[in-house]
Amino acid sequence: MPLRPGRATLSKPFSIPGGLGRFVDIAIIDGYTDEPAALGVPPYIAPLPRYLAGAAWTAGCEGVLYSTIDEVRRMSRKGTPRKGPRPRGKDRDRDLLAMPDGDRYDLQVLLGGAVVPGNYLRGRPASVRELSEIARSFTGQTLLVGPVARWGWTSGEKMTKAHHEAFDHVATRDGDAYLHDLLRGEEEPLQRFRTREEWASWSVEGAGIVSSSRDMPHPLIVEVETYRGCIRHAFGGCSFCTTVRDIAPVFREPSEIADEIGAMDRLGVVSYRLGGQSCIYSYKALGVGEVESPVPDPRALRSLLEGIRRAAPSLEVLHVDNANPAVIADHPGEAEMVTQLIIEHCTGGNLVALGLESADPAVHRANNLNATREQCMEAIRAINRWGRYGTDTGLPALLPGINFLGGLPGETPGTFELNMGFLKQVLDEGLLLRRINIRQVAPVCGQMEVKHDQRAFRKFKLRVRTEIDLPNLQALLPYAAPIRRVWTELHDGNTTFGRQIG
Ligand code: SF4
């Protein structure tokens, strides 16, 4: 259990509700998060577990354990003492999940929320059943945080009243702020967002828990936020999206981000992704909140990226994540400068994920999507113009990725034909894609009707894998072209799956 460096004991004892009257130890169990703008499934670690640790240490907590749902599953199989109700029915013979050595902790913080679940090789997000089962088997207080607490949804499953009742506290806004106030002695903390000062402080204070990751230093990728929220907040945002709902964008200062990364560099972290935001090109962009497609600010990006490079001399991987194609297409001059800065300061094999979601204009209109197919095509051309050239990683410097979403309102069988037509145009123009991500929408936001045409969706996926992915990959990586620094993740018979870290 890592103790906060330099503060193994406190000057005065304090208590959490219930009046323990002594130092407090907490356990954070990471059930992994996957949101439209942020990923925390291994080998990634999301910002929230680190902020939770920072909030706890800042509140005076003595010891903070960081563990993951996979570790709890593994330890439970090895014979963790059983507490709480036994599973019933067809589940009665399976192991009951419980945290190993749970009695050593006063408070258990459970974190989860795969609101846009994908396929993962290295970890499986916790289900609501698992999270509530672990909470029930724990004798101390429990706090549920993360997207599962906010939206009552994870891994395609909705939380029921019975699931909710397993937890003493459910933080529906920032779990780190709730935890901090709880540890400070408030019996019923307010549901609130962290302040800017808390954000700057907790991100640095909590960096130490990365040392507990089994993936440290390779293949761990630390997800770092440059801002929260979406630049389309004032304009409603995409119908399915959780990122845009709660709060207008709040930008972090380059120095705050550099401080956080500097703290992790000193601990031995070598790989980072600037994720957690809806569009890296819109970092501190001009006109946010006034226009739907703000003007990128290359000076802000330069300050951000140069600061990170100075703060992290051991850095091996620096990648970015999402971008709004409309911003790149509407402001070609500024966007081009940002593209060049990303190529100059980040490492090879980098990817800008473009959320087209659907190439069908009717679906675009029905869901207030962020970019038209024309804007997305223009963004793909713009990124290819500068980013398609090779690097020492064996992959191009920077390529676009495309996200599609099945099941959106307005979708018809013709939608999939339009999506295929879009991808064929990409191939015909000789443009490269780093990857094509195809998922199905989940009705997390509650106000949308989701109908999945599973047959048409599966057929579309298969056609993309055979008719688009294959020729794209052949152009990207001709047979026997070397890719360097590949981390092998899974053996399946004679096939081994690996990924280049990033
Ligand atoms: S652009 Fe759409 S999907 Fe992306 S964060 Fe904003 S609202 Fe969400």
Closest CA to 311 of 253, 393, 250, 392: 253
pLDDT in single tens digits along all 502 residues of the chain: 444 433 323 333 344 444 455 678 999 999 999 887 788 999 999 999 999 999 999 998 888 999 999 999 988 866 544 444 555 555 555 567 888 788 889 999 999 988 777 778 888 999 999 999 999 999 889 999 999 999 888 887 888 999 999 999 999 999 999 999 999 988 889 999 999 999 999 999 999 999 999 999 999 999 999 999 999 999 999 998 888 888 899 999 999 999 999 999 999 999 999 988 899 999 999 999 999 999 999 999 999 999 999 999 999 999 999 999 999 999 999 999 999 999 999 999 999 999 999 999 999 999 999 999 999 999 999 999 999 998 999 999 999 999 999 999 999 999 999 999 999 999 999 999 999 999 988 877 656 666 778 899 999 999 999 999 999 999 999 989 999 989 998 888 999 988 899 8
CB-based pocket (< 6 A), ligand 1: 36-37, 230, 232, 237-238, 241, 243-244, 278, 324, 355, 370
Indicate the DSSP class of residue 407: S
Give the torsion sign (CA, 478, 481, 487, 492). Answer: positive
Q: What is the distance between the alpha carbons of residues 417 and 397, in angstroms, rounded to a whole number? A: 31
Indicate the DSSP class of residue 466: I
Long-range pairs for 424-429 at CB < 8 Å and ≥24 separation?
424/467, 424/468, 425/377, 426/377, 426/380, 426/468, 426/472, 427/468, 427/471, 427/472, 429/381
Tokens of 231: 């630049």
For atom 4 of ligand 1, which residue has the closest CA?
Answer: 278
CA of 225 to the centre of ligand 1 (A): 15
Q: Position of tokens 């037509």?
A: 421
Does 3.80.30.20 match the CATH number of domain 217-500?
A: yes
Per DSSP, the residues of 209-247 read GGGG-TTTTTT-EEEEESEES-TTGGGT--TT-STTTS-
Q: What is the distance between the alpha carbons of residues 420 and 460, in angstroms, rounded to a whole number? A: 8
Among 230, 402, 405, the mutation site with the greatest number of ligand 1 atoms within 8 A of its Cβ is: 230
CA of 237 to the centre of ligand 1 (A): 6
* Amino acid symbol at 477: L
8 Å CB contact between 235 and 292: yes
Within 226-382, strands assigned E span 227-228, 250-251, 271-275, 317-320, 322-323, 350-357
Give the torsion sign (CA, 303, 307, 309, 315). Answer: negative
**Class of the domain covering 25-86+94-192:** alpha beta
Q: How far apart are the first and last CA of the chain?
A: 28
Task: Write down the domain spans for the chain.
Answer: 25-86+94-192, 217-500
Q: Position of tokens 């999270």?
A: 131
CA of 238 to the centre of ligand 1 (A): 5
42: three-class secondary structure by DSSP: coil
Q: Give the model's pLDDT for residue 492.
A: 87
Q: What is the distance between the alpha carbons of residues 271 and 6, in angstroms, rounded to a whole number? A: 26
- The C-alpha angle 153, 156, 161, rounded to 5 degrees, equals 40
CA of 34 to the centre of ligand 1 (A): 14
Q: Give the model's pLDDT for residue 187.
A: 80
Q: What is the distance between the alpha carbons of residues 366 and 480, in angstroms, rounded to a whole number? A: 45
Distances (CA, A) of 460 to 63, 137, 235, 372, 472: 50, 44, 31, 20, 16
CA of 279 to the centre of ligand 1 (A): 9
